[in-house]
């Protein structure tokens, strides 16, 4: 049996438990070997029940003397408790709404418990994790014990037993793919030794050394794959011809009603240089909110048209696609460039007209949503693809558009600043252009946190009323559209109705994603033209919406949004010359929630906020790349392992430069294909 055999063939697993393992991402025997504990309990020094103190996190081993389950005066709350004895003293452990504990914590069994001690009518362990001890399991006490992730059908104790068996039978087959010179350079411990240490740690120092070795392996493998893909892309099929700026681009620059920032000018030069090359551009354009990335994108589009190519501009939502379309039409009207819009809600007649223009080549720039990569869309000479808010598109969606032509230039954009560690991990095969400067005259948005008490509500409504009287506009964002029995949050529809009563005389509109496309367009046009004073909305206004007269952003139930999303919403104001405010409304929340909002109030730097968001939520949730499997690391952590990532990037770059076909690193090539080949489209690596 090989390491790549299905996990059901591992000793003790079988088909039924294979399905449970699959939910934990364990599909092969190799996955089982690299399925590491989520934490450890040091059961070498068990805390006696006589030594329990309030506030301490302890491990205890004792015998269950009695079990009790009882309801409480609070509806739906049930308490399960056991009386414990270690032969000399007694203590209590308590769980809330825990199911079927009476089936396992029967009097007479020995249990190991880990949890926090609290003083509640005496000392007790509250909601501790526990394991019923088996005298036949020598690894359960007297040592550092590995606690594995569990799921229905798999207990941590059983997983520990199966992993232990797998280590004995299959660990010797694991091959080290990191080249020997790199291992020697950093004095890494052997791979098999490191794997064993993470499963059966001998101590803190040896565990940390092993952990860093395995984290480096994961980061090194990914960086090698990304750099290999970048190098192969550069030497692969060339574009049909260079796209060089001409008269249209010169006229575009002259027609801009504002002065470009130095950052915008630099990024346009970088993009123009790529387009003039026969190597397909693969570039990431990122910048903070309001940094002006759309102008850079427009410049790229005009250069593509100047060079005789068509261009496609993909946006994740209809509202954003429409905003880009109207802005492009307005700015390019005098340049004799036909710009069309393609979204799912277009009438059949309008759709057919657009499709005909695209296939004939009359449409030079096509703006749209995912509808652009539909099977009936056929470009005559597509040379440039721009993907806005790249993380909102699936890999397959983007690839479906790229497959419509031969090696187009690709510019992906995000208005969500991305931490460097995440940029290297997700976009490590792209060149990066950074907009790190705001246009002149942009003032920082003042951010305030308010408890939505009656007095604060009156104060806020007066402020909103005064803002409208001064001729400025207001956004009021709610987390959901309609009221929900399951969520204690205010809905946009309810807030819209209430504000119409509380603020008579103001023109108030409602916007959310479920409105028909023509109605959404009408609502946004009315707000953009100044006909509407106050726009009540869901987070559909998070990106792309640009109304310079809007100076106040109210975000209701702000703790329900991530900090990066709050920053994006805040970026909808502060786009004109007037002083702007973002007001974060909160009800009851946790100390962590308050800390998050206070941090928002302390900075307008999107890159600092992105780092904070990465620590709180993880890379998959931020960039929507969980589906890709790129950052599903077993060991590495993009927050704590920055130095390891830089080190891995450096070593991978040197290796790919010296041996681009990995001819002298066959174990590495094979590991790339087996672990990341499909994800990174590295067919033919091994």
DSSP class per residue in 343-370 = -TTS-HHHHHHHHHHHHHT---EEEESG
pLDDT at 683 exceeding the cut of 70: no
pLDDT at 600 exceeding the cut of 50: yes
Q: Quick one: pLDDT at residue 485?
A: 46
Q: Quick one: pLDDT at residue 396?
A: 40
Least confident of 366-380, 422-436, 554-568: 422-436
Pairing of strands 110-119, 57-71: antiparallel
What are the extents of the domains in the chain? 43-147, 204-237+633-680, 247-435, 446-603
Residue 88 · residue 61 · CB < 8 Å: no
Q: Quick one: pLDDT at residue 4?
A: 84
Residue 627 banded pLDDT, cuts 50, 70, 90: very low
Counted residue by residue, the chain has a size of 686
Can you tell me the mean pLDDT for 601-620? Answer: 69
In the Cβ-directed half-sphere of 391, how many Cα atoms lie within 13 Å? 21
pLDDT at 247 exceeding the cut of 70: yes
Based on C-alpha coordinates, what's the Rg of the chain? 29
Cα separation, 672 vs 223, whole angstroms: 10
pLDDT at 236 exceeding the cut of 70: no
Residue 515 · residue 526 · CB < 8 Å: no
Q: Which CATH superfamily does the domain covering 247-435 fall into?
A: P-loop containing nucleotide triphosphate hydrolases (3.40.50.300)
Residues in Cβ contact with 212 at an 8 Å cutoff, skipping those fewer than 6 apart: 644
Which residue in the block uniquely carries the two structure tokens 């079988």? 14
Can you tell me the mean pLDDT for 338-350? Answer: 89
Which residue in the block uniquely carries the two structure tokens 């696609």? 321
- DSSP-assigned letter for residue 122: S
Cα separation, 304 vs 306, whole angstroms: 5
Residue 556 · residue 479 · CB < 8 Å: yes
Cα separation, 343 vs 347, whole angstroms: 9
Q: Which helix (H) or strand (E) holds 304?
A: helix 293-306
Tens digits of residue pLDDT in 160-203: 889 999 999 999 999 999 999 999 999 999 999 999 999 999 88
Residue 486 banded pLDDT, cuts 50, 70, 90: very low
Tens digits of residue pLDDT in 52-108: 999 888 888 899 999 998 887 777 788 899 999 988 889 999 998 888 888 889 999
Residue 629 banded pLDDT, cuts 50, 70, 90: low
What's the whole-number average pLDDT of the chain? 84
Can you tell me the mean pLDDT for 542-564? Answer: 83
> What percent of the chain shows pLDDT beyond 70?
88
Full-model pTM: 0.70
Q: Quick one: pLDDT at residue 29?
A: 93
Q: Given this chain, do its domains 43-147 and 446-603 carry the same CATH topology?
A: no
Tens digits of residue pLDDT in 124-169: 999 988 888 876 666 666 678 888 887 777 877 888 889 999 999 9
The CATH number fitting domain 43-147, selected from 2.40.50.140, 3.40.50.620, 3.30.360.10, 3.40.630.10: 2.40.50.140
Better pLDDT: 399 or 536: 536
Tens digits of residue pLDDT in 555-592: 998 888 877 788 888 988 988 777 899 999 987 777 77
- Domain covering 446-603 in this structure, CATH number: 3.40.50.300
Cα-Cα-Cα-Cα dihedral sign, residues 208, 213, 218, 223: positive
């Amino acid at each position: 049996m090989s390491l790549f055999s299905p996990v059901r063939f591992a000793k003790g697993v079988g088909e039924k438990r294979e399905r449970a393992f699959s939910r934990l991402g364990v599909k092969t025997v190799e996955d089982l070997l690299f399925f590491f504990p989520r934490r450890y309990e040091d059961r070498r020094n068990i805390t006696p029940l006589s030594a329990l103190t309030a506030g301490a996190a302890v491990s205890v081993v004792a015998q269950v003397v009695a079990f009790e389950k009882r309801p409480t005066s609070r509806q739906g709350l049930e308490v399960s408790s056991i009386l414990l004895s270690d032969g000399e003293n007694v203590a209590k452990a308590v769980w809330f709404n825990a199911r079927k504990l009476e089936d396992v914590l029967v009097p007479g069994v020995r249990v190991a418990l880990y949890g926090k001690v609290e003083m509640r009518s005496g000392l007790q362990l509250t909601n501790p994790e526990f394991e019923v001890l088996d005298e036949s399991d020598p690894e359960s006490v007297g040592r550092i014990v590995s606690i594995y992730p569990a799921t229905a059908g798999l207990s941590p104790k059983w997983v520990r037993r199966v992993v232990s068996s797998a280590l004995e039978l299959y660990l010797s087959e694991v091959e080290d793919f990191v080249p020997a010179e790199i291992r020697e350079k950093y004095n890494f411990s052997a791979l098999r030794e490191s794997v064993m240490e993470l499963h059966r740690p001998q101590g803190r120092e040896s565990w940390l050394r092993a952990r860093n070795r395995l984290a480096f392996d994961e980061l090194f493998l990914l960086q090698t794959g990304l750099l290999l893909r970048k190098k192969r892309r550069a030497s692969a099929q060339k574009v049909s011809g260079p796209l060089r700026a001409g008269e249209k681009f010169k006229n575009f620059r002259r027609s801009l009603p504002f002065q470009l920032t130095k950052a915008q000018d630099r990024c346009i030069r970088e993009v123009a240089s790529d387009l003039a090359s026969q190597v397909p551009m693969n570039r990431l354009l990122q910048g903070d909110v309001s940094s002006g990335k759309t102008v850079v994108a427009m410049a790229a589009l005009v250069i593509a048209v100047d060079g005789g190519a068509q261009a496609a501009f993909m946006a994740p939502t209809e509202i954003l696609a429409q905003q880009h379309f109207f802005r492009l039409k307005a700015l390019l009207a005098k340049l004799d460039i036909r710009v069309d819009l393609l979204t799912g809600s277009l009438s059949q007649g309008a759709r057919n007209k657009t499709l005909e223009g695209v296939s004939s080549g009359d449409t030079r720039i096509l703006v749209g949503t995912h509808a652009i990569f539909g099977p009936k869309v056929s470009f005559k000479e597509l040379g440039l693809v721009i993907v806005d808010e790249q993380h909102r598109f699936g890999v397959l969606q983007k690839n479906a558009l790229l497959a419509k032509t031969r090696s187009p230039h690709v510019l992906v954009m995000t208005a969500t600043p991305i931490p460097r560690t995440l940029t290297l991990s997700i976009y490590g095969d792209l060149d990066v252009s950074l907009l790190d400067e705001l246009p002149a005259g942009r003032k920082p948005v003042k951010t305030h946190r308010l408890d939505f008490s009656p007095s604060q509500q009156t104060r806020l409504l007066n402020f909103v009323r005064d803002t409208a009287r001064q001729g400025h506009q207001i956004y009021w964002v709610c987390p959901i559209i309609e009221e929900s029995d399951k969520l204690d949050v205010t809905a946009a529809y309810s807030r819209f109705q209430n504000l119409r009563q509380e603020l008579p005389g103001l023109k108030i509109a409602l916007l959310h994603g479920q409105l028909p496309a023509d109605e959404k367009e009408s609502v946004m046009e009315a707000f953009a033209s100044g006909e509407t004073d106050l726009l009540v909305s869901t987070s559909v206004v998070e990106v792309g919406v640009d109304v310079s007269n809007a100076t106040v952003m109210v975000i209701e139930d702000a703790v329900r949004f991530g900090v990066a999303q709050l920053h994006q919403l805040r970026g909808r104001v502060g786009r004109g010359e007037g002083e702007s405010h973002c007001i974060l409304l909160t009800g009851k929340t946790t100390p962590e929630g308050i800390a998050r909002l206070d941090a928002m109030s302390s900075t307008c730097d999107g890159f600092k906020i992105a780092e904070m968001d990465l620590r709180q939520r993880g890379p998959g949730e931020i960039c929507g790349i969980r589906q890709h499997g790129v950052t599903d690391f077993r060991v590495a952590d993009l927050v704590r392992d920055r130095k390891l990532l830089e080190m891995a990037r450096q070593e991978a770059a040197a290796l790919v430069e010296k041996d681009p076909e990995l001819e002298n690193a066959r174990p590495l090539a094979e590991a790339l294909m087996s672990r990341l080949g499909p994800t990174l489209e590295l067919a033919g690596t091994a």
